[in-house]
Amino acid sequence: MIRSQVGGLCYRVRNERAEILLVTTRGAGRWIIPKGWPLAGETAGASALQECWEEAGVVGTLSGSALGAFTYVKDRAEDDHPHSVTVFPVKVKRLEDKYPEAKQRRRKWFSTAKAAQRVTEPELRQILAAFEPTRF
């Protein structure tokens, strides 16, 4: 059984170049985009935006439709099902210092190329490497 999640590709433009915000996973400390379960009664995009707030302190807006999806298997033995994450672009207005998972994760800005190198999921690498905010 494949489980469906949503995620936000959080970005900003500095000196005409896109930067991507990545966060660490709580367990292994790997770099990833903010992601999680869809919220009941919310759209997939709104759910992704909520995950960006909870995991990275992002205050921003959805800036388009889904960019694609990637699959992964969680690092924990109790959840070995594959997960499919639909990725939405999120334009970051600002980052807050106080947010729900501030003490559980690190966050850092990367160029699109460096962000693609930091993540382990091949499909997410492709989404990050191909991202062009001028489309939005």
Catalytic sites, residue numbers: 54
Alpha helices in the chain (DSSP H): 44-56, 112-118, 122-130
Contact 12, 20 (CB under 8 A): no
* Residue 41 tokens, joined: 């009664």
> Rounded CA gap, 136 and 128, in Å?
15
* Four-point Cα dihedral 69, 50, 83, 88, nearest 10: 0
Amino acid at the residue 9:
L
